[in-house]
Amino acid sequence: MRFTQALIRTSKEAPADASGTSHVLLTRAGMIRKVGAGIYDYLPLGLRVLRKIEGIVRAEMSAAGALEVLLPALLPAEYFQETGRYTGFGDTLLRLKDRKGAEYHLGPTHEEIITDLVRREVKSYRELPLNLYQVQTKFRDEARPRAGLLRCREFLMKDAYSFDVDEAGAKASYEKMRVAYNRIFTRLGLDYRMVSADSGAMGGSTSAEFQVLTQSGEDAIAVSDGSDYAANLEVAAAADPRASPPAREAPLARERVHTPGHGTIEDIARFLKTEPSRFLKSLVYLAVRAEASADPERHGGVETVMVVVRGDHEVNEIKLARALGAAEVFLANPQAVEDATGARVGFAGPVGFKGKIIVDRDAAVVARGVTGANETDHHLVNVEHGRDYDGEVADVRNVVDGDASPDGAGRLKIYRGIEAGHIFILGTHYSAKMGATYLGEDGLAHPIVMGCYGIGVSRLVATAVEQHHDEDGISWPMPIAPYHVHLVTLGMDEAILAAGRTLEAELVAKGVEVLWDDRDERPGVKFKDADLLGVPLRVTLGGKGLASGVVELKRRSDRSKAFDALPIATAADEIARRVREALG
RNA sequence: CGGGGCGUAGCGCAGCCUGGUAGCGCACCUGGUUCGGGACCAGGGAGUCGGAGGUUCAAAUCCUCUCGCCCCGACCA
């Protein structure tokens, strides 16, 4: 492809409303343009990247035995009404009416639609298992679209659904997808981790996220440096401190100290000349009991709980809710804290607290602890769990960088990640509600056991940029690059242009995708654009090189100025070889 | 949905406070000189000042309403 015919419009500056590295670079490179909040055009170069990603996803899904279908994006309301999600999805569902006033919505995901298809097409256990997938535009009226392609209202997603006769079959289908997903993300050239995650309210205990490691992801994930343990921070387990207990300091007598005006931990630590890790941070939570969650006011299923974590740790609300068997937990407001403790916020503590107490495992082993006295302007020092206060001990904190890995091997490092894929077993949640059954060998109808598997295809375009860029621009992994080779000819000298034409033709004949910058621009402009666009191999053909019979080959990811001088006669062979090598 | 900010040429911005009929840089077009890391000179085209209403002799500027966009938070099968 000739640059002059490719509709590539680069710019030095990005629009002021572009936020995030990938949004800025993709816009500056002329690959995407914003049409509205969370709505984008893909220009030719950007579309090529999107298509490359789709191609890899399709190839691996197909290799794993999944069949491609295409379900509608425009959906009559009745299907989501069957499972209660027409209202349950809330404002995220983009609803509309047709001329007759009938209700429709745009599909945010397609469990109901695929389940409907399968309940009509599949009758017998002989027709299972089945795995159907599609690559379709999804619509979600996000409360807050942001960061360009990373969180859109309209986005491209690959979603697959497996259908099996029983749990064991569903597990086998899930395993196939797990393997396929690992192959996909590896082929895309991304540094990613498969992590265990909160499966959410949707049910299904078996689930895994595929997180692409970036500097600015929305999610925090904990990864062990000594094993393959990796988990979303939401669910990452803290190592049990009793596995390697610290040298125990002899307990001292508990004392009450006057700490006027000091409410924060840093403050009191300085005042008492001690460390935040000595503190028993005591937070008052309201836990909504699971069975009462639909309407807590009416059922009154709310319990006040004091949560104790070490002063340098944070409460993990998902783990806390799980430990309490609660549907949701909320931090109590200041008035509720005062009511519960009898002291102003900042002076709460477990000693003498009348209600339920949950103690984080690391807080329970703190010796000579410091905590609030449940009396304004007073703290207690030399507090010991088991002697001065009690409470159920559980893992309710966020892990922090440097923690021991819960599997005992290595230490945890915290990364930022972008969720690019999620796989999980749904069970019979949808099939039971929608009557998707098969006739078994026993002649009876059974609900089909389902799994679902998503990949954010358009999000991956931005994710790849977040992971592969430098101050000059994008640096695409070869498998998803818009072109394999960026040919730069310097000057408009006919001898150089002729050599360019020849080299382009030779490369194309070998199956190499070439973008030839044939513009009448100065070298600096061409090099800057090449760096911005991020095609992985740059081939330069200039007067000096031509005179000595060589072309220059340089990898975009190589930050040095060094290049390989290739003899013109054999350059195409060598370049094609490097492309094949990089494609893996 | 709560808080904050911004809408002026394709893009980045100034002008607004203190009303007098719109300007700079980049990009674009023409000519010339340049030519291995975003050149220079000269000339040129391009703007319903987000929209509606109001105040005024006069509104980008002041007032009211409204729409859009961005950021932080809440939310995120």
The complex's ipTM works out to: 0.90
A418, A211 in Cβ contact below 8 A?
Answer: yes
Each residue of A321-358: pLDDT tens digit?
Answer: 777 777 777 787 777 777 778 877 778 888 888 888 88
Parallel, antiparallel, or unpaired: how do β-strands A392-394 and A154-164 relate? unpaired
Would you state the pLDDT for residue A576? 98
Which tokens is A510 given? Answer: 């070998």
- Alpha helices, H only, A89-195: 111-121, 167-187
Each residue of A395-427: pLDDT tens digit?
Answer: 888 898 888 888 888 898 888 888 999 999 999
Would you state the pLDDT for residue A198? 67
- Containing A142, the helix (H) or strand (E) segment is none
**Strand B, CB < 7 A, residues 364-383 of A:** none
CA A473, CA A214: separation in Å to the nearest integer? Answer: 16
CA A381, CA A256: separation in Å to the nearest integer? Answer: 7
CA atom of A98 to C1′ atom of B51, Å: 28
Nearest nt by C1' to A531 Cα: B37
Burial of A225 (0-12, 13-18, 19+ CB in 10 A): exposed
Q: Which residues of chain A have pLDDT under 70?
A: 198-205, 245-246, 261-263, 290-301
* Minimum-distance residue to B5 (CA–C1'): A17
A29, A474 in Cβ contact below 8 A?
Answer: yes
- Containing A487, the helix (H) or strand (E) segment is strand A485-489
Would you state the pLDDT for residue A205? 65
* Minimum-distance residue to B12 (CA–C1'): A13
CA A154, CA A174: separation in Å to the nearest integer? Answer: 27
Kindly report the CA angle at A512 between A506 and A517, in degrees rounded to 5? Answer: 80
Does the pTM of the predicted model rise above 0.80? yes
Axis-axis angle for helices A457-467, A21-28 (nearest 10): 100
CA atom of A180 to C1′ atom of B25, Å: 51
Which tokens is A343 given? Answer: 């002291």
Would you state the pLDDT for residue A353? 82
CA atom of A29 to C1′ atom of B65, Å: 40
* Minimum-distance residue to B74 (CA–C1'): A143
Would you state the pLDDT for residue A384? 85
Would you state the pLDDT for residue A200? 54
Would you state the pLDDT for residue A515? 98
CA atom of A37 to C1′ atom of B67, Å: 14
Q: What is the number of residues in chain A?
A: 584
SS3 label, residue A204:
coil
CA A389 to chain centre: 40
Which tokens is A281 given? Answer: 């941070």
CA atom of A340 to C1′ atom of B5, Å: 40
Would you state the pLDDT for residue A296? 43
| Chain B nucleotides near the protein (CB, 7 A) | 1, 6, 10-13, 25-26, 34-39, 68-77
CA A72, CA A536: separation in Å to the nearest integer? Answer: 37
A505, A541 in Cβ contact below 8 A?
Answer: no
Axis-axis angle for helices A167-187, A44-63 (nearest 10): 140
CA A244, CA A410: separation in Å to the nearest integer? Answer: 14
Full 3-state SS string of A405-446: CCCCCCEEEEEEEEEEEEEEEEECHHHHHHCCEEECCCCCEE
